[in-house]
Amino acid sequence: MSAFEPGLEFVFELKVRVDDPLRVGGTPDLNVTPIVGGTVSGPRLNGRVLPVGADWWVTRGATTQLDARYLIEADDGAAIDVVNRGYWHPQDSVEQRVHAGKKVGEAELYYRTAFVFQTGAEAHRWLTEAQFVGYARSEPDTVCIRVFRLR
């Protein structure tokens, strides 16, 4: 019996604009980053990221665990709820480049996420019927995530 190899289908890219993070309590370990807008563009979905939601993140050692929740408005006006959880784990040299504002690609940085979408819009039901993963990268004031449907 041969091993099954999963495939990925690119569906859209999110460019999520964020504000400065807020520290929770007196520790730098727990933060909340407000989501203030953005865009959605791709072969399967286009629209905008609404200025509703935030990313809660906890850093333990060299790994940051992410838990974001926000809304997308599709070009047809349908609202889509987004839950996006993942991990950010850079090598030290890459993290220094990120903090210096230098461009770092998805292949250089372990910045991976998994999505759950909810919507009552029939045209976008396909989002509620599959698993999606994201390959992310940072740009100034923006998190860019290429979103793929797992086949």
Other beta carbons within 10 angstroms of residue 142's beta carbon come to 15
Q: Which residues contact 12 (CB under 8 A, 6 or more apart)?
A: 40, 41, 42, 43, 44, 45, 46, 147
Q: What is the mean pLDDT of the chain?
A: 91
Q: Regarding beta strands 8-18 and 110-118, do their DSSP bridges make them parallel or antiparallel, or are they unpaired?
A: unpaired
What pLDDT score does 54 carry?
98
Distances (CA, A) of 134 to 5, 44, 58, 96: 18, 15, 19, 23
CA–CA gap between residue 137 and residue 151 (Å, rounded): 23
More confident residue, 88 or 104: 88
pLDDT, tens digit, for every residue of 50-95? 999 999 999 888 899 999 999 999 999 999 999 999 998 876 666 6
pLDDT, tens digit, for every residue of 24-48? 987 778 999 999 999 999 999 999 9
